[in-house]
Structure 1
Amino acid sequence: MEETFDQLYNKANEAFKDGHWAEAERLYVEVVKRKPFYADVHHKLGVLNHQKGNFKKAIEYFEEALKLNPNYTEARLNLTITYYAVGQYDKGMEIFSGAIQQAILEPGQLDPYIKGKLANEHFKLGNIYYDLGEFQEAIDQYAKAVKLCPNFPDIRTKLGIAFRDIGEFDQAIQELKNVIRNKPYYLSARNHLGITFLKVDRIEEAKAEWNQVLKINPKDSIALACLRMADKKND
């Protein structure tokens, strides 16, 4: 006897939840054949195709989900991510702007989950600019991410590094100190603060940061190498 639509839909959701991706995709395709009006099904098919690297197909599914439900913020975010994956950054930013508007709860307020997602997208785009040597563009993206999620230590550390790379040493030191103030055991920020101090010949302050790293992790290879470098600079 053929499964009812509800049985098929529930079975597909269970497969998706349990990580049985191939089975979930097969079932969701069957769901769409029977009833193509479920935005969440198109969204999940987009997610599954993105996981496989089928970005073109993923885009089609996410766009269909948004046609069915223009307020589907998660679909909009995943569409943004997929456009970034295929190098269509302008299109991604256009969709991204829409995601920000959809995520607004009230003037000036965003859902915390959406804040995190948006911050990570700015961070990813900042990393792309950074790798291309476009440091000011990278800083702009990192700053947007920090504004959304000021306590994400990896983002703020990278912002400090980018400031250092354009010679804005005071700003770099401030950002890295902010990370350490909130996350004293985040060693990457301490190591880079030490490197920044060394750049401006504040050698003892640099060594103090690396020694603090080694108190936490005596085998930290960056701190060990930097201390050797600082000692040679003193010779």
Structure 2
Amino acid sequence: MSSEQNRVANARHLFERGLYAEALNELRMAVGEGREYPDVYNLMGLCNSMNSDYKVAVSYYQKALELNPAYEEARLNLLITLSDLGKYKEADAELTAMLASTKIRSDELSPAIKSRLAEGYRELAALELEMGRIEQAERLINEAVELAPSYVDLLVFRGKILRRGGRLSEAEEVLERAIALNPNYQNGQLELGLVHFQQGAYDTAKGHLQKARDLSKGTSREAELYMSFLKSRTEEKRGQGV
């Protein structure tokens, strides 16, 4: 193994231990010794992102993409960082280009890369949902689920996006699948409860919300809020003799 390869390997170990400045120093020396590859610049960007030096991180992700425009992980990192900087127009342009591009087949990716990419798509979907852009959020979470179809948290987030978009039957189907994989996933029970609540199936909603509250050991404020509403509704109906 060459000197620059040793530096990159050492940098990865340092990064995994949370020693970002030290990892970045190793990578700079590797680049100085001729190791100018997309994965190196992407890792340099990640080191800067973890140290909250987002503007510098952007320059490294862009350098990685100059060397390999099809480097999906670097583009995801760039998108997330641009969003963190509030540069939404630039992020939108990158997002449009990425979703229109031909993807690497998922069966050609290692499980670790699939997991990282799926998490990147989920994070971007969360940003889009926060801005009220349901359609974009759905496209992104679908990309994530395609990469990691058995990840319960991704299925639940997909269900949440569908619920927020008013597609309750589809949301219910996705969330039922997630709950079947892990009945004790708190957010899954909560989201399914909210779907049934919005459908007017209050008794069914109560069961899932109660389960979410129990799993959270009473810390789920959303479950508590809806449970309180259902309790008040029941008491009101009793008072009316219904």
TM-score by length of 1: 0.75
Deviations 1:156-211 (A, max 9, x none): 22222222223222122212211111110011111222222122221111122233
Change (3 A) 1:22 1:114: closer
Residue in 2 that maps onto 1:53? 52
TM-score by length of 2: 0.73
**Structure 1 residue 214: Cα displacement:** 4.8
Change (3 A) 1:151 1:100: farther
Residue in 2 that maps onto 1:14? 10
For residues 33-48 of structure 1, what are the structure 2 equivalents within 5 Å?
Answer: 33=32, 35-39=33-37, 40-48=39-47
**Aligned residue pair count:** 226
Is the CA contact (8 Å cut-off) linking 2:83 and 2:91 kept in structure 1?
yes
Q: Matches of 1:202 and 1:161 in 2, distance apart?
A: 17
Is the CA contact (8 Å cut-off) linking 1:81 and 1:92 kept in structure 2?
no
2:192 aligned with 1:193 = yes
For residues 214-233 of structure 1, what are the structure 2 equivalents within 5 Å?
Answer: 214=213, 216-221=215-220, 222-233=222-233
Between 143-152 and 12-21, report the one with greater CA deviation.
Answer: 12-21
For residues 45-124 of structure 1, what are the structure 2 equivalents within 5 Å?
Answer: 45-65=44-64, 74-75=73-74, 77-86=76-85, 87=87, 88-93=90-95, 96=98, 101=103, 103-104=104-105, 110-124=109-123
**Structure 1 residue 118: Cα displacement:** 2.7
**Structure 1 residue 56: Cα displacement:** 3.7
Between 73-82 and 141-150, report the one with greater CA deviation.
Answer: 73-82
Q: Matches of 1:100 and 1:203 in 2, distance apart?
A: 44
Deviations 1:26-51 (A, max 9, x none): 34334433x23432544433332232
**Structure 2: which 5+ residue stretches go unaligned?**
237-242
In structure 2, give the amino acid aligned to 1:219.
G
Q: Secondary structure at the match of 2:183?
A: coil
Is the CA contact (8 Å cut-off) linking 2:11 and 2:27 kept in structure 1?
no
Is the CA contact (8 Å cut-off) linking 2:125 and 2:136 kept in structure 1?
yes
In structure 2, give the amino acid aligned to 1:119.
A
Between 74-83 and 44-53, report the one with greater CA deviation.
Answer: 74-83
Larger radius of gyration: 1
Deviations 1:132-178 (A, max 9, x none): 22223322322332233222222222222222223222122212211
Is the CA contact (8 Å cut-off) linking 1:198 and 1:230 kept in structure 2?
no
Residue in 2 that maps onto 1:155? 154
Change (3 A) 1:232 1:89: same
Q: Matches of 2:127 and 2:100 in 1, distance apart?
A: 21
RMSD: 3.3
Q: Matches of 1:15 and 1:141 in 2, distance apart?
A: 30
Identical counterparts, % of pairs: 25
**Structure 1 residue 67: Cα displacement:** 5.1
Change (3 A) 1:131 1:217: closer
